[in-house]
């Protein structure tokens, strides 16, 4: 097979730089939007952001202290600048004699829970990462396999059955299947404890706590991926180059496994990048249902408490995860699909 545009290392480098630049712009925009949501929207609606951080019944002195400490009276760009500076050189919050230090990398300091954000993030990130990666492994394995089988045996009993299950799967909210699985396997049958146990404490305990979240999350996504894989595979099988491959006398496993799978995987990878990025940024629903101490739980609590520094920190990490995942997918793309030009 002739590769028309053999991309040299130079082109790849230029492509990488362009993508990284776009990613950086995206991050800045996201930070500005988060600032906007928590500072501008309440202002339009006539609520003082400082009161949001201390609560409604707090006395004026406490509100003023928070305003000074967080620099809420400064122009918004000064606040954004302070935030960025904090990430690289650390930051000090002060109001009068009251000084709070936040060492670099300072992603903010929560005045509600009286702790820096960074340790909270590093504490909770592994839980979310394990949840997302474990589930992704399962759903790719089963979802793609089910979709390919359905496409190859189109119209068969297996195809119809699998697609009905898949349609049911995408129609079920994760918190419902999650609760149902807890009620059945943990409470009803007593097979699994269902509580989260840190990996450092016990491996089997950790596995027991993660298995239900993994399976329920993977079920939802496997259903989605099976539907997409089937549709894409059917389309690919109708292409001329597949007919050519068959006409050349290639065996069916080679035609399917090597030629058809390559094109089928392209849209699947795009989805995987977006889904994985979004999940790593906080599988909020899954973590809430199973009470997992991950990023999603942290940000939900922060939003309920209107704890802006935590929200900012987590949103930044989340966006980073989404952007990195998409970047990786774009690079993988160029590898598996030579039609993709590096432009």
Partner 1 sequence: MTAPLHEPTAEAAPSAAEEAALVAGSAEAKAVQGRSLGRIAWERLKRDKLALAGGMVVLLLILIALLAPVIANLVGQDPETHHEDLIDPLFSTPKGAYGGISGDHLFGVEPVSGRDIFARIVYGARISLLVGFLSALVAVVLGTILGVLAGFFGGWVDAAISRVMDGLLAFPQLLFIIALVSVMPNEMLGLTGTGVRLFVMILVIGFFGWPYVGRVVRGQTLSLREREYVEAARSLGAGRFYILFKELLPNLVAPIIVYTTMMIPTNILTEAALSFLGVGVKPPTASWGQMLSAAIDYYESDPMYMVIPGVAIFITVLSFNLFGDGVRDALDPKGSR
Q: Does 340 bind partner 1 (CB under 8 A)?
A: yes
The contact pattern for partner 1, residues 218-257, with x = CB under 8 A and - = no contact, is: ----------x--xx-xx----------------------
Q: Does 343 bind partner 1 (CB under 8 A)?
A: yes
The span from the CA of 166 to the CA of 128, in Å, is: 25
Alpha-helical segments (H) within 109-260 = 117-139, 145-152, 157-170, 174-181, 203-237, 240-247, 252-254
Q: Does 281 bind partner 1 (CB under 8 A)?
A: yes
Size of the site for partner 1 (CB under 8 A): 62
Binding-site member from 85, 183, 239, 243 for partner 1 (CB under 8 A): 183
Q: Which of residues 70-109 bind partner 1 (CB under 8 A)?
A: none
CA distances 156 to 54, 145, 146, 149, 264, Å, are: 62, 16, 13, 10, 21
Beta strands in the chain (DSSP E): 91-95, 98-102, 109-110, 115-116
Asked if residue 279 lies in contact with residue 324, where contact means CB atoms within 8 angstroms, the answer is no
Q: Which of residues 129-168 bind partner 1 (CB under 8 A)?
A: 154, 167-168
Q: Does 285 bind partner 1 (CB under 8 A)?
A: yes
Identify which of residues 194 and 208 has a Cβ nearer to partner 1 in the complex. 194
Q: Does 173 bind partner 1 (CB under 8 A)?
A: yes
Q: Does 62 bind partner 1 (CB under 8 A)?
A: no
Q: Does 57 bind partner 1 (CB under 8 A)?
A: no
| Cβ-defined contacts of 91-99 (< 8 Å, 24+) | 93/69, 94/68, 94/69, 95/64, 95/65, 95/66, 95/68, 95/69, 96/65, 96/68, 98/65, 98/69
Helix axes 117-139, 261-280, angle to 10 degrees: 150
**DSSP letter (8 states) at residue 286:** H
Identify which of residues 85 and 262 has a Cβ nearer to partner 1 in the complex. 262
Instruction: Give the interface with partner 1 as residue ranges (CB under 8 A).
Output: 26, 29-30, 33-34, 37-38, 41-42, 45-47, 52, 154, 167-168, 170-173, 175-176, 179-180, 182-183, 187, 228, 231-232, 234-235, 266-267, 270-271, 274, 277-278, 281-282, 284-285, 288-289, 299-300, 303-304, 306, 311, 314-315, 318-319, 322-323, 326, 330, 333, 340, 343
């Amino acid at each position: 097979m002739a590769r028309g545009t053999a991309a040299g290392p130079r082109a790849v480098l230029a492509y990488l730089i362009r993508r990284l630049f776009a990613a950086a712009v995206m991050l800045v925009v996201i930070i500005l939007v988060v600032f906007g949501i928590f500072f501008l929207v309440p202002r339009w609606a006539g609520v003082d952001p400082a009161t949001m951080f201390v609560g409604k019944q707090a006395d004026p002195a406490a509100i003023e202290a928070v305003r000074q400490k967080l620099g809420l009276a400064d122009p918004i760009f000064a606040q954004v600048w302070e935030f960025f500076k904090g990430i690289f050189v650390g930051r000090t919050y002060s109001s009068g004699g009251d000084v709070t230090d936040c060492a670099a990398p300072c992603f903010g300091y929560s005045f509600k829970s009286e702790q820096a954000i960074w340790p909270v993030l590093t504490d909770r990130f592994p839980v979310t990462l394990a949840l997302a990666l474990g589930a992704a492994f399962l759903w790719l394995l089963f979802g793609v396999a089910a979709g390919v089988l359905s496409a190859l045996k189109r119209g068969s009993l297996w195809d119809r059955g699998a697609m009905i299950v898949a349609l049911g799967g995408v129609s079920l909210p994760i918190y419902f299947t999650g609760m149902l699985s807890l009620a059945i396997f943990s409470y009803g049958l007593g097979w699994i404890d269902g509580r989260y146990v840190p990996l450092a404490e016990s491996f089997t305990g950790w596995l027991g706590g993660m298995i239900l979240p993994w399976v329920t999350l993977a079920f939802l996504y496997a259903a989605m991926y099976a539907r997409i894989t089937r549709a894409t595979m059917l389309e690919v099988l109708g292409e001329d180059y597949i007919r050519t491959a068959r006409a050349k006398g290639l065996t069916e496993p080679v035609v399917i496994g090597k030629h058809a799978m390559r094109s089928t995987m392209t849209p699947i990878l795009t989805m995987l990048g977006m889904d994985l990025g979004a999940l790593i940024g906080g599988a909020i629903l899954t973590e809430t249902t199973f009470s997992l101490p991950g990023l999603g739980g942290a940000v939900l609590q922060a939003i309920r408490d209107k704890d802006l520094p935590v929200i900012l920190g987590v949103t930044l990490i989340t966006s980073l995860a989404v952007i990195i995942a998409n970047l990786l997918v774009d690079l993988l793309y160029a590898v598996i699909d030579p039609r993709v030009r590096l432009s």
